[in-house]
Amino acid sequence: MITFIVRRLIATVFLLIIVSMITFAIFFLLPRLAGQTSRGLASQYVGRNPTPAAVHAIEQQLGLDAPLPVQYGRFLRGIVLGEHFNSGSNKAYCPPPCFGYSFKTQQPVWPMMVSALPVTISLAIGASILWLVGGVAIGVISALRRGTLFDRFSMGVALAGVSLPIFFTGLVSLALFSYKWPIFPNVHFVSFTQNPFLWARNLVLPWVTLAFLYAALYARLTRAGMLETMSEDYIRTARAKGLNERTVIVRHGLRAALTPIITIFGMDLGALLGGAVLTETTFSLPGLGQFTILAINSQDLPEILGVTMLAAFFIVIANLVVDILYAVVDPRVRH
Amino acid sequence: MAAWKGRARGGDKAAAPTVTDTSAPATSSMLDVRDLRIHFPTDDGLVKAVDGVSFTLDRGKTLGIVGESGSGKSVTSLGIMGLHHGTNAKISGKIWLDGEELVAASAGRVRQLRGSKMAMIFQDPLSSLHPYYTVGYQIAEAYLIHNKVSKKAAKEHAVDLLNRVGIPNPQTRVDDYPHQFSGGMRQRAMIAMALSCDPELLIADEPTTALDVTVQAQILDLMADLQQEFGSAVIIITHDLGVVAELADDILVMYAGRTAEYGTSEDIFDRPAHPYAWGLLGSMPRLDRARLDRLIPIPGTPPSLINVPSGCPFHPRCAYAALTNGRSVNEIPQLRAVGPGHEAACHLSTDEQRRIWGEQAARMQLSPAARHFDQEDA
């Protein structure tokens, strides 16, 4: 078990390095392959009709003229040691961990992401608990009462849930429960440490909206898994022992049916921590998703690069956690 | 002496009880099944998986239920265990287990008996054991729900059982998962689980089908030994006549959900009366038969249980149906005594049956000496 985890950890470190290389290449190699020069890139950061000297200064300040491996090396060094951007009168310092420096906002990227993170985490954790509990419960009941009204109804709702986009369900819920009947008025993010009650109240609508989408998916997955598991031979064995039906369902059926759900849950949660773009935009929550959208809209390359790497980092970590969890729940993986 | 049996079982036993009365429980038998019918309504029609099967079984005795896939043998055993509960199965008839009727009993009562008084061993031990729980846990689980004991005591019981079914190092193997066991060891663990509450009735549904041939013999020996030790009544369900030859006292041959022939294993192997039983015996590979002889398969396939052929369900595949003046096509044959405690559902007269089987046995070159081929001690 220990060697399994250590092996996985080492693999994860390598994976992160490769992911960062690919991300870096996407942002700095692809434009060059498409014919963009370092001067062209630099000219985006100096106003209209710049003098060649000004462009050259920026080019030097950002290090765009250096070969790509050197730029990547600087990027990695910046994460560990921080980085100074000095060129003439323009001086900027990006303290470690430096995931880039936004010259448009004149701020290092990392602190901006850190301040957006609690919003995204609050949203993701709350919604994921809701959808996991709700989706699995509905899926199990649907599977056990296959063909009944409950099954048909909940699977119909689930189909709707999977199909309806967040910006529809989110706006409808806002229109109904925030404006028409102001149960949750003035939805905006309040940090948990500031006021736990307001934090929760303002997040109810985003949580439910986001959870609705995922719960629908999880209900269908759980139902399918449960139907398959309950027809397994070992379920018949459990019944043949004389176990009562609840023990058969929970201890023998659900235990096996939940294992693949854990995998998908880990991956979904990891992806969400990188920013729930649609939900955060719909509910104006200043999380990583909104940060990403703003960065893309203003074509702020260092911000986009930083948030992409952070999102990739979450997914890789989620993978690691899922792998280890899988070994914990499934002895066939462990041995 | 049982001619085809590898293992002698205390000479001739009492004749198998004839089954006529359907109103009162047999007083002596451990298990008494009367006119059991298990039907499944489906969109395509009513599937008569079991349609009027009766048999009895005494303590310490073994009944072999033999038949092709879809003959209703597994459905019968699951019916006895009450495992059709919760499905849409329509069950009628009577099942008396130790004097207690099970068909009309509440699901809760049958559940109490399941695992404690009657237990079952399934065909494929890998898929029948839960992959996420240790073997010991799964054995102890059965013991815990039927006995008021501590978890520690239940685990010690599991170790003891693993030891008795011949698992080496049971103290350490008890914490292993099923995938760490070999196929034969898994089936031993299944047997240990079934025996955990010392059941009076043990049903083994094709217990050796999924195993290597060498392991099959070990498992059959183990079951025979444990039956002596625990004194359970055993039902062995199989399509392998070699298995019943090894273990069974009585044999029930099933075809299309009905009893084709029922008698002692001597009756079935030495004096089979039903053409289907002849077919089964003729298609069984045997060492004492000349090498070049071809096996004689039964032509055709088992019938659909929704549109069962008219008259005798076996008649489309039967080479002798023409000898009955059309009765086989039109009239369902009833079980009829063809010898003491030996019944067959066939329209052929007893004389014709004896004559045809005599010819068949001669063609299969079953010389009296060759028929006494024994696999081991005898």
Q: Which residues numbered 208-267 in A keep a CB inside 8 Å of some CB on B?
A: 232-234, 236-245, 252, 255-256, 259
Task: Return the closest-CA partner of residue B205 out of B257, B231, B255, B240.
Answer: B240
Alpha helices for A164-254 (secondary structure H): 166-174, 196-230, 233-240, 245-247
- Predicted-complex ipTM score: 0.82
Using CA atoms, how far apart are residues A222 and A216, in angstroms rounded to an integer?
10
Cα angle for residues A166, A170, A176 (degrees, 5° grid): 155
The shortest C-alpha distance from B307 to chain A (Å) reads 27
Q: How far is the C-alpha of A231 from the C-alpha of A105, rounded, in Å?
A: 59
Nearest Cα to Cα of residue B254 among B123, B76, B18:
B76
Q: How far apart are CA A116 and CA A189, in angstroms?
A: 11
Give the pLDDT of residue B179: 94
For residue B134, give Cα distances in angstroms to B173, B179, B186: 9, 9, 11
Q: Which pLDDT score, from 0 to 100, does residue B14 have? A: 43
User: pTM of the prediction?
Assistant: 0.80
A331–B124: do the CB atoms touch at under 8 Å?
Answer: no
Residues of chain A contacting B119 with CB distance shorter than 8 Å:
240-241
B114 to A240: CB separation less than 8 angstroms, yes or no = yes
Q: Residue B172 corresponds to which tokens in the numbers above? A: 């350490």
Contacts of B74 (CB under 8 A, 6+ apart): B205, B206, B237
A239 contacts B114? CB cut-off 8 A: yes
- Nearest residue to B252 (alpha-carbon basis) of B28, B57, B30: B57
Q: What tens digit of pLDDT does each residue of B118-157 get?
A: 999 998 899 999 999 999 999 999 899 999 999 999 999 9
Q: Minimal Cα–Cα distance from B12 to chain A, Å?
A: 34
Handedness of CA B9, B14, B20, B24 (dihedral sign): negative
Q: 3-class DSSP state for residue B337? A: strand
Each residue's pLDDT tens digit, A20-52: 899 888 888 888 888 888 777 777 777 777 788
> Angle A56-A58-A63 (CA atoms, 0-180°, nearest 5)?
95
Q: pLDDT tens, A207-237?
A: 999 999 999 999 999 999 999 999 999 999 9
Distance separating alpha carbons of residues B292 and B27, to the nearest angstrom: 51
Q: Would you say residue B68 has pLDDT above 60? A: yes
pLDDT at residue B16, as a whole number = 44
- Locus of tokens 């939940």: A258
The answer for residues whose C-beta is within 8 angstroms of residue B65's C-beta and 6 or more apart is: B73, B76, B77, B235, B236, B237, B238, B251, B252, B254
Q: How do beta strands B31-42 and B45-57 pair?
A: antiparallel
What share of chain B has pLDDT > 70, as a percent? 87
Cβ-in-10-Å burial (0-12, 13-18, 19+) of B274 comes to buried
Tell me which residue of B93, B105, B114 sits closest to B39, measured CA to CA.
B93
B352 touches chain A (CB under 8 A): no
Answer for the pair A98, A107: CB distance below 8 angstroms, yes or no: no
Closest CA relative to residue B72, chosen from B210, B248, B255: B255
- Chain A residue numbers with beta carbons less than 8 Å from the beta carbon of B114 are 239-242
Task: Return the pLDDT at B24.
Answer: 57
pLDDT of residue B315: 92
Residues 6+ apart with CB under 8 A from B262: B16, B19, B55, B250, B251, B252, B253, B335, B342, B343, B344
> Which tokens in the block code for residue A176?
């109904």
The CA distance from A34 to A32, in Å, is 5
Contact at CB, A242 and B83, closer than 8 angstroms: no
Token duo for residue B213: 């041939």
Q: Which residue has the higher pLDDT, B368 or B143?
A: B143
Shortest alpha-carbon distance between residue A326 and chain B (Å): 11
Q: Answer for the pair B66, B91: CB distance below 8 angstroms, yes or no.
A: no
* Chain B residue whose CA is closest to A229: B130
Q: Do B132 and A242 touch (CB under 8 A)?
A: no
Q: What pLDDT score was predicted for residue B114?
A: 93
Average pLDDT over residues A268-286: 91
- Who among A237, A244, A245 is closest to B129 (CB)? A237
Digit-coded pLDDT (tens) for B9-34? 433 444 444 444 445 555 578 899 99
**Eight-class DSSP state of A50:** -
CB pair distance less than 8 Å for B124 and A233? yes
Q: Between chains, do B115 and A232 touch, taking CB under 8 Å as contact?
A: no
What is the DSSP track for A208-231? Answer: HHHHHHHHHHHHHHHHHHHHHHHT
